[in-house]
Amino acid sequence: MTALLGGCGLSGDSADVTLKLVAADYGDSESNSSRIYWQKLVRAYEAEHPGVRIEVSVHSWNDVDRKVRELVDAGQAPDMAQIGAYSDYAAKDLLYRADDVLSIPVQADFVSQLAGAGQVRGVQYGMPFAASTRVLFYNKTHFEKAGITPPKSWDDLARAAEALKAEGVTYPYALPLGPEEAQAETMQWMLSGKGGYTDLNGTYALASPENVSTFTWLKEELVGKGLTGPVAPGKLNRADAFAAFADGQVGMLNGHPSLMKAAARKKVEFGMVPTPGIEGESRSTLGVSDWMTAFKQNGHQEEIGDFLDYVYSSENVLAFSREYDLLPVTGSASEIMSEAEEDKELRPFLDELLLSELYPVGKSSWAAVSAEVKKRIGRAVAPGGDPVEVLAGVQTTAARAESGH
């Protein structure tokens, strides 16, 4: 899916400039494709900036990262790319720093957790574009029938899952550790068990005692007791788990904002609470951000910066966030959303953003580690699986990727 959106330079006496942007599609149909969002934004920008033309090509999330890599490898880097990762391009010195292109007020407006995650060795290259967090969704109808209340701790969650299973719920707790997005569910559980992908020094610590304990608990207390449904967690993808929740087959799962509309469309009565942790509500939750990058190959530093300042205006950030049930990446837009009645359903996620931790995306090794987690982590909770062995194996991959071997 490609949209070429026309116009014409930054000021009347500058040469005509065409900026090329490759962007991801957040829509789930032609009627709400991101192409429509960009078309409207570009049309408004170009009306105010004769002499600058913006060409936007929009691709599905299945294709967009590969498309940008192909362009870069062919020596045809776009001026900007709105994609899932940035650190490998930063490591090759292909990107402008954020402060090379953004005005000081715009860069200072980013939510601090997101700005920090956009840094490589203390320098910001990744500009957050869209964010989300996770909370525990639960089916109110199933919970009322089972006579239970939303869980606050792992023990609560296990007891609730037992009660839901007794009531015949297909997936008492849906645990999607399949290859689509296993790295998300994995990190959510690691954080709730006081672990994570890295330690406080930023060094990979996948096989830490905390992470081993977390996956041992999952294997023994949920999966081993038949509380995660008919599909093995290692084969259950996030999209399928969400679809099952929207069909009323799931008692509980970790979800992000897009699940709200899907469940509401199917008339599922649901509630949302903070993620349960090992000793009560988890102290931190998973935050996810997608990234805007600015490539140096074509020059156009001034024009890119002017356009991105416009993209990150509160009005445009809010419009995008509201259209796709995502969280604003700027403090000014977040403040507006936290007070606006129309955004009240997003407030639980907005509150969690301030407690969130993001993937270690500043490491150029993260792509390899994420791929290994997707491939292997389901085995840690499978019958006969060994959490120690699986996590140690992923840790070995992480150490190799960090050293460049």
In this predicted structure, what is the pLDDT of residue 23? Answer: 94
For every residue of 100-154, DSSP letters joined together read HHS-HHHHHTB-HHHHHHTEETTEE--EEEEEEE-EEEEEHHHHHHHT----SBH
For every residue of 230-260, DSSP letters joined together read SS-GGG--HHHHHHHHHTT-EEEEEE-THHH
- Average pLDDT over the chain, rounded to whole? 91
Cα 314 → chain centroid: 21
Question: Which CATH superfamily hosts domain 135-274+365-403?
Answer: Periplasmic binding protein-like II (3.40.190.10)
Among the CATH numbers 3.40.190.10, 3.30.530.20, 2.40.50.40, 3.40.50.300, which is that of 17-131+289-349? 3.40.190.10
Q: Which residues contact 49 (CB under 8 A, 6 or more apart)?
A: 7, 9, 10, 306, 307
- Mean pLDDT in residue range 235-250: 94
Q: In the predicted model, is pLDDT for residue 155 greater than 80?
A: yes
H or E segment at 343?
A: none
pLDDT top residue among 155 and 33: 155
CA 183/CA 194 separation, integer angstroms? 16
Same fold, 17-131+289-349 and 135-274+365-403: yes
pLDDT tens profile 362-404: 888 888 898 899 999 999 999 999 999 999 999 999 999 888 7
Domain ranges of the chain: 17-131+289-349, 135-274+365-403
Report the phi/psi class of residue 128: left, alpha or beta, with left for phi > 0 and alpha for psi in -120 to 50: beta
CA 172/CA 160 separation, integer angstroms? 8
pLDDT tens profile 190-225: 999 999 999 988 899 999 999 999 999 999 999 999
CA 94/CA 82 separation, integer angstroms? 15
Give ∠ CA 380-384-390 in degrees, rounded to 5. Answer: 30
In this predicted structure, what is the pLDDT of residue 211? Answer: 97
In this predicted structure, what is the pLDDT of residue 10? Answer: 35
In this predicted structure, what is the pLDDT of residue 405? Answer: 58
Residue 96 burial (CB count, 10 A): 22
In this predicted structure, what is the pLDDT of residue 3? Answer: 42
pLDDT tens profile 40-58: 999 999 999 989 999 999 9
Q: In the predicted model, is pLDDT for residue 5 greater than 70?
A: no
Whether the CB-CB separation of 160 and 228 falls below 8 Å is answered with no
**Which of 61-65, 87-91, 278-282, 389-393 is most confident?**
389-393
pLDDT tens profile 118-151: 998 889 999 999 999 999 999 999 999 999 999 9
CA 25/CA 242 separation, integer angstroms? 19
Q: What is the C-alpha radius of gyration for the chain, rounded to an integer number of angstroms?
A: 22
- Mean pLDDT in residue range 158-180: 96
pLDDT tens profile 274-297: 999 999 988 888 998 999 999 999
Residues of the chain with pLDDT > 90, as a percent, come to 72
pLDDT bin (cut points 50, 70, 90) of residue 60 is confident
Q: In the predicted model, is pLDDT for residue 27 greater than 90?
A: no
Angle of helix 366-376 relative to helix 182-192, nearest 10 degrees?
A: 90
Q: In the predicted model, is pLDDT for residue 13 greater than 50?
A: no
Place of tokens 């600015």: 294
pLDDT bin (cut points 50, 70, 90) of residue 88 is confident
In this predicted structure, what is the pLDDT of residue 201? Answer: 87
pLDDT tens profile 339-358: 999 888 888 888 888 888 99
pLDDT tens profile 264-274: 999 999 999 99
In this predicted structure, what is the pLDDT of residue 47? Answer: 93
In this predicted structure, what is the pLDDT of residue 160? Answer: 98
Q: State whether residue 318 is helix, strand or coil.
A: helix
